[in-house]
């Protein structure tokens, strides 16, 4: 009896790509954009204590990578999270922002680096900026991983990537709670 050669298993570095997703940025391209953003932000984050505040849930992977990149540049920011919800598992924002969980540390007199995943309407960042300003932040800088081209960057201080006008998934961004764990940035085909 002749033995068949063993099936090649994908390498651990080969990401799973759902059939309905186009890859827009590879893992290496994501890493490079986060590093370049950290290089641009580093000079602005000196001179006072800063706290990075991530908007949950989608920006979590980006915030973790950005915080590590800033630390490798000698910047040790505090860290907190603000859970805001406006999509409710839909592909379009409801327009109503709800605070699901607030920050846990004082921001009094500190600078805040507000970190979000996608800037597509500006409503979430505007809400979060006002919310954190009311908590005593001395200065608030906003940054996102992806900025959609159809929106003016009003109220946005820095971003890693100018994204196309497509529905993004992966690297924390989801489609009704799915595909957040993809290590790359993709877009839903046909959406």
Domain with 154 in it: what CATH number? 3.40.50.2020
How far apart are the C-alpha atoms of 33 and 188, rounded to whole Å? 21
pLDDT at 88: 57
Tell me how many domains the chain contains: 1
Q: Does 10 map to a domain?
A: no
Q: Does 122 map to a domain?
A: yes
Pair 61, 87: CB distance under 8 Å:
no
Q: Could you give the angle at the alpha carbon of 137 between the alpha carbons of 131 and 142, nearest 5°?
A: 70
- Indicate the SS3 state at residue 114: strand
DSSP 3: P
Q: Does 8 map to a domain?
A: no
Q: Does 58 map to a domain?
A: yes
Residue-wise pLDDT for 98-119, tens only, equals 899 999 999 999 999 999 999 9
DSSP 164: -
Q: Does 117 map to a domain?
A: yes
For the beta carbon of residue 143, count every other beta carbon within 10 angstroms: 25
Q: Does 68 map to a domain?
A: yes
Q: Could you give the angle at the alpha carbon of 81 between the alpha carbons of 76 and 82, nearest 5°?
A: 145
Which strands sit side by side in the sheet containing 158-162, from one edge to the other?
98-101, 78-85, 50-56, 111-119, 139-147, 158-162
Residue numbers of the domain that contains 56: 28-86+110-166
Q: pTM higher than 0.85, yes or no?
A: yes
Q: Does 20 map to a domain?
A: no
How far apart are the C-alpha atoms of 113 and 18, rounded to whole Å? 33
The mean-pLDDT minimum among 6-15, 104-113, 178-187 falls in 6-15
Q: Does 97 map to a domain?
A: no
Q: How confident is the model at residue 154 (pLDDT cuts 50, 70, 90)?
A: confident
Residue-wise pLDDT for 27-81, tens only, equals 999 999 999 999 999 999 988 999 999 999 899 999 999 999 999 999 999 999 9
């Amino acid at each position: 009896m002749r033995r068949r050669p063993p099936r090649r298993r994908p390498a651990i570095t080969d990401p799973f790509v759902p059939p309905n997703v186009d890859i827009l940025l590879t893992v290496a391209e994501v890493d490079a954009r986060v590093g370049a953003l950290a290089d641009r932000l580093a000079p602005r984050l000196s001179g006072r204590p800063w706290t990075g505040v991530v908007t949950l849930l989608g920006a979590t992977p980006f915030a973790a990578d950005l915080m590590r990149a800033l630390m490798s540049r000698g910047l040790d920011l505090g860290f907190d999270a603000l859970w805001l919800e406006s999509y409710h598992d839909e592909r379009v924002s409801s327009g109503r922002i709800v605070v699901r969980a607030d920050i846990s540390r004082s921001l009094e007199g500190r600078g805040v680096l507000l970190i979000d995943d996608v800037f597509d309407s500006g409503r979430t960042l505007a809400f979060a900026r006002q919310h954190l300003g009311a908590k005593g932040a001395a200065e608030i800088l906003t940054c996102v991983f992806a900025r959609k081209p159809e929106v003016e960057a009003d109220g946005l201080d820095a971003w890693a990537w100018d994204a196309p006008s497509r529905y993004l998934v992966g690297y924390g961004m989801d489609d009704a709670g799915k595909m957040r764990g993809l290590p790359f940035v993709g877009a839903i085909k046909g959406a």
